[in-house]
């Protein structure tokens, strides 16, 4: 049994000399490479001095020379071969110092190599601060980052200065760089810099030089991370208000879930532009499933590949009515006026352009517009008092996801009374709760699997459209694979029935859109990456947020696919200027057209030259911006 004295002895036990030495060596090593090198040199000098003095005492000679000779033996083992053999003491001690030097040299080389390797590793991880100004910072790394970078590359392809994009993500820098290079073949004049770390940590925001950026895009893996990053950026910028490169620096962030929108708006400051992703995708899908090619128009509007929206100060337009301005350009299409920080989309045709106003132009590139005074209107080809058929076909929806109710709410607003929507899935019942709708009638059909045999039984009428929804609960590659299989089955059905029904589908990864296009048929793909395109557009020009909001709601003006014969006669070639005039008389703006017999880009042509002649058939449609 232990008594109190024994317990006291245990607690009073002193560390051994070995433990003390080990502990102090560890403390020295923790101080870094430079300290370890200095300590090795110090030990070497002390050992050289001791050995030199001993040899001097025993063998004589100059003490300085003995110490120097001892020190040289530690640094170069070859010196031992030149020693004279008349003094055994000298040989013994010089041999000891040479062996000591071998250990010292190997330890020193090891430390230096280790330090060099650590530095290289840190450099590969991207730990240095970005020394750029006016760059774009993307916070968050996932599969949508490739769409963001690709859009920024396209957006800045015609700029004279180099665009720098800084990506902050959780992956290793080398991994991010390799994957980005694998997805984007040509960076043109855009430079991409990756930094590895948490995008919501202050030191990572400092490393990305957020205060010197022109814009920040938050690309979180989910809404939680996006909101957290948004709060971090707001706090970071607030502490560096006086250091900003651009005082108008703002942050664009995509929030997917509706339940987090209020929290994001509350957390976001004046610099934050929130994009409600699922809402935008749902609206595009709802409007696209009954209008062939409309989703392709939206994608062209949002990306930088062909034509996009720019705010232009056009001196020649001042004092002119908006209707006159429609005929002013060689190919560009005015869709509105930017006045007093407000966008007037599809304004009254009699609206006069004032000083300080800018035109919102649909054009190939910023400042690329060309003025043309030619005007060619063929009155005999204009349809007077047109009637527009707004009838809708049955809609068949294959699959379910969390956007289903939002899609149906929007579809209900544009649908005719008693329009039929069939939801087809392998589950016993609807997985997501649905609202009460005014115009559409919902039917649920359960099937065993999405096979051609089962899909063949679904249509009740000859004319219908199909919507294929992606599965949000599985990996995006697997989800896209299932969607592609459904498209193949639908193509077989179309060939069997000789029915060219239109299929709108969701694809989550942009690279898989090309595979969907290879299947053929009237397939119109809505990519989940479309919100990334929106974020990029808004990051380049924040004022576009208001424009896109109006285009994607039932209020104000929207995009429609209208039959050509509602505006002009189709029995002969017609000048596009004539189409512009006919549409303007009905308070509409024509952005282009879709040729049903052209496969490339789904036959969509935007911003054709005003003097170009086109011959249409009865299945062709015009891309129209109208209030109804």
Report the CATH number at residue 151: 3.40.50.720
164 with 212, same domain: the answer is: yes
152 with 92, same domain: the answer is: no
110 with 143, same domain: the answer is: no
DSSP 3-state of 363: strand
Domain boundary among 236, 270, 304: 270
Domain boundary among 244, 270, 296: 270
DSSP 3-state of 370: coil
Determine, yes or no, domain membership for 369: no
* CATH code for position 60: 1.10.287
165 with 229, same domain: the answer is: yes
Parallel, antiparallel, or unpaired: how do β-strands 613-614 and 574-575 relate?
Answer: antiparallel
Q: Does residue 48 have a pLDDT over 80?
A: no
- pTM here is 0.77
Q: Averaged over 260-277, what is the pLDDT?
A: 85
Q: Averaged over 522-529, what is the pLDDT?
A: 71
Closest CA to 421 of 401, 437, 402: 437
Element of type H or E holding 22:
helix 17-30
Domain count, the chain: 2
Rounded to the nearest integer, the mean pLDDT of the chain is 85
Poorest-confidence range of 135-149, 155-169, 446-460?
155-169
Most confident residue range from 67-81, 244-258, 521-535 = 244-258
pLDDT digits (tens, 9 = 90+) for 349-377: 999 999 999 999 999 888 889 998 888 89
168 with 214, same domain: the answer is: yes
Tell me if 264 sits within 8 A of 253, measured CB to CB.
Answer: yes
144 with 207, same domain: the answer is: yes
Q: Is 291 exposed, middle or buried (CB count within 10 Å of its CB: 0-12, 13-18, 19+)?
A: buried
Poorest-confidence range of 57-66, 483-492, 532-541?
57-66
Q: Averaged over 259-280, what is the pLDDT?
A: 86
pLDDT digits (tens, 9 = 90+) for 491-520: 898 888 888 788 888 888 877 887 887 886
119 with 237, same domain: the answer is: no
The more confidently predicted of residues 250 and 463 is: 250
pLDDT digits (tens, 9 = 90+) for 306-326: 889 999 999 999 999 999 999
Domain housing 261: 135-270
pLDDT digits (tens, 9 = 90+) for 362-421: 998 888 899 988 888 999 999 887 776 666 778 999 999 999 999 999 999 888 888 899
Closest CA to 98 of 113, 112, 116, 79: 79
222 with 182, same domain: the answer is: yes
Show the tokens assigned to 322: 């908006």
82 with 172, same domain: the answer is: no
DSSP 3-state of 555: coil
Determine, yes or no, domain membership for 47: yes
Closest CA to 550 of 541, 542, 559: 559
pLDDT category at 7 given cuts 50, 70, 90 is very low
184 with 234, same domain: the answer is: yes
- What pLDDT does residue 30 have? 60
Domain boundary among 125, 155, 176: 125
Determine, yes or no, domain membership for 70: yes
As a dihedral over the C-alpha atoms of residue 449, residue 452, residue 457, residue 458, rounded to 10 degrees, the angle is: 70
As a dihedral over the C-alpha atoms of residue 86, residue 88, residue 91, residue 95, rounded to 10 degrees, the angle is: 160
Backbone angles phi, psi at 496, to 5 degrees: -65, -45
181 with 253, same domain: the answer is: yes
Determine, yes or no, domain membership for 118: yes
- 10 Å Cβ neighbour count for 48? 23
pLDDT digits (tens, 9 = 90+) for 537-581: 998 888 999 999 888 887 788 999 999 999 999 888 999 999 999
Determine, yes or no, domain membership for 615: no
DSSP 3-state of 352: strand
Residues 6+ apart with CB under 8 A from 31: none
Q: Which residue has the tokens 């077989």?
A: 492
24 with 112, same domain: the answer is: yes
Determine, yes or no, domain membership for 260: yes
- 10 Å Cβ neighbour count for 411? 25
């Amino acid at each position: 049994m232990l008594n109190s004295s024994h317990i006291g002895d245990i607690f009073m036990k002193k560390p051994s000399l070995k433990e003390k030495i080990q502990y102090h060596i560890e403390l020295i090593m923790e101080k870094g490479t430079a300290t370890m090198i200095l300590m090795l040199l110090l030990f070497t000098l002390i050992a050289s001095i001791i050995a030199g003095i001993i040899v001097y005492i025993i063998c004589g000679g100059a003490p300085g020379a003995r110490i120097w000779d001892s020190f040289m033996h530690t640094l170069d083992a070859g010196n031992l071969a030149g020693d004279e053999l008349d003094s055994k003491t000298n040989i013994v001690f010089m041999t000891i110092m040479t062996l000591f030097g071998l250990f010292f040299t190997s330890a020193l080389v090891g430390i230096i190599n280790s330090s060099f390797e650590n530095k290289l590793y840190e450099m590969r991880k991207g730990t240095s601060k970005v020394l750029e100004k006016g760059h774009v910072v993307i916070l968050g790394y996932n599969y949508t980052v490739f769409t963001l970078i690709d859009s920024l590359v396209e957006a800045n392809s015609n700029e004279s200065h180099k665009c720098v994009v800084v990506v902050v993500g959780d992956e290793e820098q080398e991994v991010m760089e390799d994957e980005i290079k694998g997805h984007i073949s040509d960076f043109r004049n855009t430079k991409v810099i990756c930094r590895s770390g948490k995008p919501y940590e202050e030191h990572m925001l400092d490393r990305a030089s957020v205060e010197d950026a022109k814009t920040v895009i938050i690309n979180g893996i989910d809404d939680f991370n996006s909101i957290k990053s948004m709060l971090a950026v707001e706090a970071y910028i607030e502490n560096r208000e006086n250091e900003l490169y651009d005082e108008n620096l703002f942050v664009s962030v995509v929030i997917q879930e509706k339940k987090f929108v209020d929290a994001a708006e509350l957390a976001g400051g004046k610099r934050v532009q929130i994009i409600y992703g699922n809402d935008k995708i749902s609206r595009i899908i709802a409007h696209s499933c009954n209008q062939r090619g409309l989703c392709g128009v939206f994608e062209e509007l949002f990306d930088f590949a062909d034509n996009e929206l720019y705010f232009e100060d056009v001196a020649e337009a001042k004092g002119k009515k908006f209707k006159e301005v429609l005929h002013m350009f060689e190919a560009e299409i005015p869709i509105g006026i930017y006045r007093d920080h407000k966008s007037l989309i599809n304004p009254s045709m009699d609206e006069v352009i004032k000083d300080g106003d800018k035109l919102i132009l649909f054009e190939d590139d910023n400042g690329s517009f060309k003025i043309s005074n030619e005007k060619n209107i063929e009155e005999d080809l204009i349809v007077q008092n047109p009637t527009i058929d707004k009838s809708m076909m049955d809609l068949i929806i294959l699959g379910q996801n969390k956007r289903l109710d939002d899609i149906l709410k929007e579809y209900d607003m544009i649908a005719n009374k008693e329009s039929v929507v069939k939801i087809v899935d392998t589950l016993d019942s609807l997985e997501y709760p649905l609202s009460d709708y005014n115009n559409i009638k919902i039917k649920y059909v359960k099937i065993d699997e999405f096979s051609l045999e089962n899909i063949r039984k679904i249509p009740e009428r000859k004319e219908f459209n199909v919507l294929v929804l992606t599965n949000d609960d599985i990996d995006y590659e697997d989800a896209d694979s299932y969607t592609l299989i459904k498209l193949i089955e639908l193509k077989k059905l179309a060939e069997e029935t000789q029915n060219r029904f239109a299929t709108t589908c969701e694809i989550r990864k942009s690279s898989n859109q090309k595979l969907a296009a290879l299947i053929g048929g009237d397939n119109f793909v809505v990519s989940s990456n479309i919100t990334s395109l929106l974020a990029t557009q808004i990051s380049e020009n924040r004022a576009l947020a208001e424009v896109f909001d109006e285009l994607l709601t039932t209020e104000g003006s929207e995009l429609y696919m209208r039959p050509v014969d509602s505006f002009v006669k189709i029995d002969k070639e017609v000048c596009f200027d004539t189409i512009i005039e006919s549409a303007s008389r009905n308070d509409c703006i024509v952005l282009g057209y879709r040729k049903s017999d052209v496969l490339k880009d789904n036959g969509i042509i935007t911003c054709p030259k005003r003097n170009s002649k086109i011959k249409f058939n009865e299945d062709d449609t015009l891309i129209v911006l109208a209030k109804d």
